[in-house]
């Protein structure tokens, strides 16, 4: 979800790349906050919670920015 949201913000932002990065990282930060809350509410192994938090939210926002920039420039395929 964070990736899709970041791609959408990267492709549709008319206000330039800095604003796009901020919105994608803000969405990633919200997903990170949700992931932290889920770690407290849902029982899971510690390795899974760590992997989920470290590999899911903010890196996916960064990846979404890169994919969205490629798609916006027309080099997606």
CA distance 2 to 71: 17
For 8-51, how does the pLDDT look when each residue is reduced to its tens digit (9 = 90+)? 555 555 555 566 677 777 887 888 889 899 999 999 999 999 99
* Rg, the chain, Cα only: 14
Identify whether the C-beta of residue 75 lies closer than 8 Å to the C-beta of residue 14: no
Say if CB 17 and CB 72 are below 8 A apart: no
pLDDT value for 29: 82
């Amino acid at each position: 979800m964070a990736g899709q949201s970041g791609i959408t913000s990267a492709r549709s932002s008319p206000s330039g790349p800095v604003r796009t990065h901020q919105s994608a990282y803000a969405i990633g930060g919200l997903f990170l906050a949700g992931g932290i809350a889920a770690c407290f509410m849902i029982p899971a192994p510690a390795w899974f919670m760590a992997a989920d938090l470290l590999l899911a939210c903010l890196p996916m926002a960064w990846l979404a920015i890169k994919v969205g920039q490629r798609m916006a420039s027309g080099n997606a395929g």
